[in-house]
Structure 1
Amino acid sequence: MISFRYTRNLFLRAFCIVYLFAFISFYIQIPGLYGDHGILPAKSLLENSKHKTLSAKVHYQPTLLWLAPYLGLDVNYAMDVLALLGSFLAFTGFISQKFCTIPLFAGLWSLYFSLYQVGQVFVSNNYDEFLLEAGFLALLVAPLLPGRRKGSKGSPSDSISFWLVRWLLFRFLLTCGLLKFISGCPKWWNLSAFSYYFESLPLPSPLSWYFHHIPVWYLKLFAVIANVCEIGLPFLFFVPIRAVRITSFIIQIFLQISVVLTGNYNFTNLLMVTLLLSLLDDQFFYGRRKPFTKWTFIEKIVNILIYGVVFLAVVKLYSLKLNGTIIESNLDFSKDQFEFVLKQGLTITIYLGLLSLGVSILRALSISLFDVQGSGSKLFTIISTILYSAIALLLFCASTVPLASLHSTSNSTVHPSVRTVYNRLHKLHAVNQYGLFNKMVGVDGRPEIILEGSENVEGPWLEYNFLYKPGNVNHSLPFVAPYSPRLDWQMFWAAYSSYEKQPWILSFAHRLLTGRPEVLVLLDKHHSPFSQKPPKYIRAALYKYTYSSWSQRSQPSWWVRQRVGEYFPAYTKDSPALVDYLKARNLLPTPTRHNVNPVWKQILDGIRYITGQLEATLLLWSVFTAGCAIITTYAKK
């Protein structure tokens, strides 16, 4: 029996760190995004419900925030409580393994799901859904109670739980990789995508500028590596040879580190690394080195052969050729050939997945029946293994729906009952459809919305500066991850749309016109011309940003920009067009009525004041460092 006990413990504590960063990130931004005077008040969303009973409200919008009045809280303070409670639970799981149980992860998932339900446009990306689905699987990995599964090799159901984690990783990577080609994006088809990628990231890092200027043939190789890591290597997650999985783990870790260095994707890369732990077993961390045997020799040879075949396939499919000191690469397959393989391959992939899961279930049942000692312990293990097997089959069947939807042929074969199961689980975000950045955007320069304020409609117009997105061409961008600046992120997507289709952005402008401090704190206060007094007029201009050339590397400018035109016209806070627009969408601020228990209010306001003294990323790393210090202190005792 393969031991997963240490791997499971490491997985769960790492998952608590991911939750910790996610909850603190959410907490920091609650007043500016969801408060009564925030951009999209959560109270207004919940007040849209016409249901009277608690059960009907929960069915309409499943969130723990409905309990706020029963706890002496309003919606805003209730969101603070949920985020702080989630942060506390995640912190306890991080510093102590004994807290990493099913009740803890059930609480973490429920709290984050409740906040997600009122997140609106600021959670309209796959990453929050990815965390929720992974968090649902963490429930299956965690033990029921501390010490419940303290056997020397863990529980037989561990192999089933970790199989589901690998399957989620597989689906996420494969879907993201395939959609790049399915979309027909010419930049992915000619392998030139990375010539634009680093410039068009939602939130570039300080190193993005340097990677953008790497020679083109290197950038084409990056596209090849990305394709292989997302489409080819995930199939090796299920090979029953640990050396193959370990090699795949190392390659995928290299990919995640590369992404972290070149772009800010909040907590997603840390979550990916956590899920990649499912490819390992206890022997990888502390197992004694096995004596060299015939089997270990065969295992190493098979590993070399498999990756050798992968390398030769990559050379063939991407026409890799050495031309002097340059490696040339071009796709050696047509769209028709890709279509044919996709059509046949999706169905085959689903059947192979079912076969692999079936083998894992049979192995777990076999261990439960024949390897577990003690009648009581054996009965419990058999029942739990059967239960985990049934849940795994249910989740697998549901997950085939988004996978099959990648092609019309395989999508038409999905049974209606399976689709019904998927729809119900998807409502809980226990199974999701993934695939961001299918097409390369910003190929002629990244569009950026620049907000400008003035005391006179004739000008002069002064610019607002953001903390994490491009604005001032002379300002480099910081490393932000694992913090998730949702306003800056959403400004990136709004630039590819019109303000009429983004109601929140006019609500944002109105809050700036009224000088709301909870919204202003989300911006760069140190470089804001309106930190003391709001402007009378505000407007938005659309610019195209491109990186400055390599020859200008000694100059202070990181960007070159060109004004494209107006994004939205000048408004005052009392402009009838603006007021009517926001009123029709229930986005006008409402008078704050503090129906909050005074004790609650004093405690929560105090916590908000203390945490508000630190910059967001500094707060995240301070809490993390405190956790590490506690772990180190207790480890020495």
Structure 2
Amino acid sequence: MMHHVEMFLLCPGLYGNEGLLPARSRLRYSGRPLWEQILLGLDTHTCMELLCLLGAALSLAATLHGAFRDSVVFFCLWALYMSMYQVGQVFLYFQWDNLLLEAGFLCIFVAPLTIIRGSQSVRELMFASGVVKLTSRCPTWWGLTALTYHYETQCIPTPLAWWAHQLPVWWQKLSVVGTYVTEIAVPPLFFSPLRRLRITSFYLQILLQVLIILSGNYNFFNLLTIALCLSLLDDQHVHFWLRKPLWSWLSYGVELSVWALLIFGTIVCFDLRINEQKRGISSRTAFTFHHFNQFLKAVTIPFVWMGVLSLMWAMVTAMFRCACVSGFFRRLWGTVQWTIFGAAAVGMFTISLVPFTFIEYDTNANLWPGVRQAHELVHRFQLVNSYGLFRRMTGVGGRPEVVIEGSYDGSTWAEIEFMYKPGNMSAPPPVVTPHQPRLDWQMWFAALGPQQQSPWFTSLMYRLLQGKQDVIELIQTDIGKYPFHQQPPAYLRAHRYKYWFTEPKADG
């Protein structure tokens, strides 16, 4: 609901007829576009606003009343956001938008039969995010120094990011080790038949997401990940067996062995040692890129089979629930549902193998061609996606930041200050989660490369010269704080600066 409301507020400035990237330019014209003809002749951006309001209303209804939490409503919500995504262009092409679409489509299956769990998406998200950090060969990730740069170079830091940046280097390196463990070693435990292993892996993921929320503004992404992780707590069948004393003792032994092996592997792989001189823990990457590739080849296929077994178990339990329903017609209807949604779940899992195996070339190359063809057919619907967060650490030599200035005479310049992104050095970092100021985010990407990689930036400058209020409100909702609110500037210029966090003892 919140996301639809947010898009409703951003739509005029981003996709309006006088916005940065007018949505109507993305539609094929045959006279008038089809959806404009259907929706009472409204123009394109008004239709988008109507879709946002409809999505917000459906989301609110599903939140307040259980009768609306069914496959039809979830399909409508997915279709509404997919419609926005198709014309959203660069401002909606984030990995969390893909994850939201994927999770929304999963809800269609979860609502009636709970055939697919969100843990499948979380496993792919977390495991791929950990793997790409190493396959990218980024020296900061391999040297375990990435977090010494991350807090000050991320898109929109929080106030706590400054404090996190001041932590000693040994702690930052140890935090990178913890990130690798949480993102690479822990996700396989999502499918463990032992309840406590799943629950512990759940809390490790929650800890990582909460730390990210505290130190960075990543909109709804981490909240969505936490919501998907909740599926790890659905353990009614396993809990029944854990109540037996013998199995309880055996499970304790297996769980302790798993965590002991995980701790031992972490110590060996990252050469963790107590450094008495520095009063900390030293660490380094004790394996090579070749070793890591061999590891990926060894674990990718077992990971796939773990997913297969998990899906089979979910389908069998769903079939059992359908068979236990009283009444012939209700049982028949449940069986029909199980057949349809089960087939769709198997198909969705199958095509998800294509993006998941991107992390390992040989496994991906050996996939059946029919699976690839099926994936290509549905790829534009964003049903399954590949992920890879923070593949390479940016801003190693300082955080690049674009600052726009305007002038009436070409000699006296005034900075156009954004509400959220760093600019004014006297302003503290904001806290905006779960909101995503999409223009501020794109300004961060624009600073990382040449202007040709951000063609929308030219449109931004043009709209500011025109004084378009919808675009100005993307920068400052309080128009009075915009330096050219009375009259558009005659000149605009953009400088690229480098920013760093202040040192703890620095004056000012």
Cα gap change, 1:70 to 1:79, in 2 (>3 Å) = closer
Match of 2:308 among 333, 346, 354: 354
Q: Which aligned pairs between 1:229-628 and structure 2 lie closer than 5 A? A: 229-281=182-234, 293-324=245-276, 325-366=279-320, 368-369=322-323, 371-457=324-410, 459-524=411-476, 525=479, 527-552=481-506, 555=508
Aligned residue in 2 for 1:206: 159
Residue in 1 that maps onto 2:63 = 94
Cα distance in structure 2, aligned partners of 1:127 and 1:474: 31
2:165 is the counterpart of 1:196: no
**Paired residues of 2:24 and 2:44 also in contact (CA < 8 A):** yes
TM-score (norm 2): 0.94
Letter in 2 for 1:134: A
Which one of the candidate residues 88, 91, 94 is aligned to 1:125?
94
Instruction: Report the secondary structure of 2:419's partner residue.
Output: coil
The answer to whether the 8 A contact 1:447-1:543 is kept is yes
Q: Name the CA shift for 1:124/1:291 in 2 (closer, same or farther; >3 Å).
A: closer
Q: Are residues 1:34 and 2:15 paired?
A: yes
For residue 53 of structure 1, report the CA deviation from its aligned partner.
9.1
RMSD: 2.2
Q: 2:42 aligns with which of 73, 79, 90?
A: 73
5+ residue gaps, structure 1, are 1-19, 58-65, 144-156, 556-637
Opposite residue 161 of structure 1, the aligned amino acid is: I
Q: Secondary structure at the match of 1:118?
A: helix
- Percent of aligned pairs sharing the same letter: 38
Q: CA deviation at 1:167?
A: 1.1
State whether residues 463 and 528 of structure 1, in contact with CA within 8 Å, keep that contact through their aligned partners in structure 2: no
Matches within 5 A, 1:155-194: 157-158=113-114, 160-162=115-117, 165-194=118-147
Question: In 2, are the aligned partners of 1:513 and 1:535 still within 8 Å (CA)?
Answer: yes
**Distance in structure 2 (CA, Å) of the matches to 1:258 and 1:84:** 33
Post-superposition CA distance 1:601-623 (Å, at most 9, x none): xxxxxxxxxxxxxxxxxxxxxxx
Q: Offset at 1:122?
A: 0.5
Contact 2:39–2:47 (Cα < 8 Å) also in 1 = no
| 1:50 CA drift (Å) | 4.7
Counterpart-to-counterpart distance in 1, 2:102 and 2:80: 14
Counterparts in 2 of 1:388 and 1:44: CA distance versus 1, 3 Å: closer
Is the alpha carbon distance of 1:289 and 1:343 closer, same or farther for their aligned partners in structure 2, counting shifts above 3 Å? closer
What one-letter code is carried by the residue in structure 2 that aligns with 1:522?
L
Contact 1:195 1:219 in 2 (8 A): yes
- Residue 218 of structure 1 is matched in structure 2 by 171
Once residues 366 and 69 of structure 1 are traced to their aligned partners in structure 2, the CA distance between those partners, rounded to angstroms, is 44
Q: Which amino acid aligns with 2:453?
A: K
Q: Secondary structure at the match of 2:116?
A: helix
Question: 1:406 Cα shift?
Answer: 2.0
Q: Give the 3-state SS of the residue equivalent to 1:322 in structure 2.
A: strand
Question: 8 Å contact 1:68–1:75 — kept in the other structure?
Answer: no
Residue identity in the other structure for 1:494: A
Partner-residue secondary structure (3-state), 1:541? strand
Deviation at 1:320, TM superposition (A): 1.3
Q: How far does the alpha carbon of each residue in 1:561-594 deviate from its partner, in whole angstroms, 9 at most, with x for none?
A: xxxxxxxxxxxxxxxxxxxxxxxxxxxxxxxxxx
Shift of 1:220: 0.8
TM-score of the pair, normalised by structure 1: 0.75
525-534 or 74-83, which deviates more? 525-534
Partners of 1:435 and 1:227 lie apart in 2 by 13
Aligned amino acid, residue 304 of structure 1: L
Contact 1:161 1:388 in 2 (8 A): no
